[in-house]
Amino acid sequence: KTHTAVLIPGDGIGPEVTEAVLKVLKAVEAPVEFHPHLAGLTAMEKHGDVLPESTLDAIREDKLALKGPCTTPVGKGFTSVNVQLRQKLDLYAAVRPVRSLPGVPTRFENVDLVIFRENTEGLYAGVENDIVPGVVTSMKIVTEKASTRIARRAFEYVQKRGRRRVTAFHKANIMKKSDGLFLRCAQDVHDAEFPDVEYDTFIIDAGCMRLVQDPTNFDVLLMENFYGDIVSDLAAGLVGGLGVVPGANIGEDTAIFEAVHGSAPDIAGKGIANPLALLMSAVMMLNHVHATQDDEACKTAASRIKQAYNQALADGEKTGDIGGKLGTMGFADAVIARL
Ligand code: NAI
Ligand code: MG
């Protein structure tokens, strides 16, 4: 069976890494047909809208998308395409596995974290107001509904995958009501539904300190939107950087797969961006299709790609950001050669 998915190449390095990933998917004969749609600056230029309704409708129809990064201009009145997509499609769980890779030397060897970031509210609700000249507010919205469902996702994941523990990062000592509610929901989900899964909490600043001191002490991390954004990049730094960390934005029946990194304007157009983060996101997509539709061909394609990129890295075939010499397509070809 051939599955259909929307493809959003995105801005900056987006089209480059997308092309590389498509080449690998084609080589492995992944049973997915892509429908290209625009979002981001390219959509703005063509349709006068960073997130055209036609793109949203296409994702609603396919319920699956692979997405490159989209630039959000600072201070020009745009709401981030990424935040909009997640909110409009209610993709409430950002799932970001952060793992050590063969041939990518870093301070710690056995990092294996999965970040569960609430993806629809918190400080990214986008409710900002000018109060009087020189004074603005930014509202942090926390609901029991969103906090409960993201906590449930994290605990379910630990249980299904046979992992160890959920750790919630928070600042409920200061933000007693908002983070307090988030924390109470996580505790309630634990007590009522997953009493046998280990659960603990860290005040986020101290948690970050412990994370960089020894990430191997952590397993699954649960946090609200803003903290999750920052901690994802921090955690990426522990395993080789933004070029190697994939992600999924998952709702009830729709999912968008994209790397944690942005459009990297500093290296865009040079053919040197690492396509691995998006390739890993594509592997997550294939595994997601396998898990939700029981398609063995997707599982096979996913594991072949994973095995091939691990082999490429172990052979020293890698891009500049992680200490190699290859460009974007050079790495894709090295993976293809090992399929
Ligand atoms: P960024 O993630 O684009 O880049 C940060 C640093 O990491 C840069 O030095 C960049 O060269 C490097 N980097 C990122 N991805 C890489 C890759 N695949 N290979 C090699 N090096 C890589 O973050 P930045 O510069 O803060 O944001 C740029 C734009 O991206 C902004 O407009 C931002 O809003 C947008 N953005 C979009 C995201 C998305 O579409 N999901 C996520 C994060 C940022
Ligand atoms: Mg981010």
Mean pLDDT of 193-214: 98
Assigned domain for 146 exists? yes
User: Whose alpha carbon is nearest atom 10 of ligand 1?
Assistant: 264
CATH number where 209 lies: 3.40.718.10
Assigned domain for 299 exists? yes
CB of residue 273 inside a 6 A radius of ligand 1: yes
According to DSSP, the residues that pair with 132 across neighbouring strands are 135
Do residues 224 and 250 share a domain?
no
Do residues 58 and 142 share a domain?
no
CB of residue 266 inside a 6 A radius of ligand 1: yes
State the Rg of the chain over Cα: 20
Q: Which two tokens stand for residue 71?
A: 């630039």
Assigned domain for 203 exists? yes
Do residues 118 and 212 share a domain?
yes
Distance CA 29, CA 308 (A): 14
Find the DSSP H helices in 136-254. 144-160, 178-193, 204-213, 225-239
Domain boundary among 231, 261, 286: 231
Domain count for the chain, please give it.
2
According to DSSP, the residues that pair with 3 across neighbouring strands are 32
> What was the ipTM of the complex prediction?
0.98
Q: Which residues surround ligand 2, an ion (CB under 5 A)?
A: 229
Q: Which residues are catalytic?
A: 124, 171, 205, 229
In this prediction, residue 309 has a pLDDT band, given cuts at 50, 70 and 90, of: very high
CB of residue 83 inside a 6 A radius of ligand 1: no
Domain boundary among 214, 231, 248: 231
How many C-beta atoms lie closer than 10 Å to residue 223's C-beta?
30
Nearest Cα to 67, choosing from 27, 109, 15?
15
In this prediction, residue 39 has a pLDDT band, given cuts at 50, 70 and 90, of: very high
Percentage of the chain lying above the pLDDT 90 cut: 93
User: Whose alpha carbon is nearest atom 30 of ligand 1?
Assistant: 262
User: Which residues constitute the domain of residue 272?
Assistant: 1-93+240-339
Query: Which residue has 């870093």 as its token pair?
Result: 106
Distance CA 163, CA 114 (A): 10
Ligand number nearest to the C-alpha of 261: 1
Assigned domain for 98 exists? no
Find the DSSP H helices in 28-93. 41-47, 53-62, 81-88
Do residues 183 and 138 share a domain?
yes
Do residues 224 and 259 share a domain?
no
Domain boundary among 231, 254, 279: 231
Q: Integer distance in angstroms from the first to the last C-alpha of the chain?
A: 21
User: Whose alpha carbon is nearest atom 22 of ligand 1?
Assistant: 243
> What was the pLDDT predicted at 271?
98
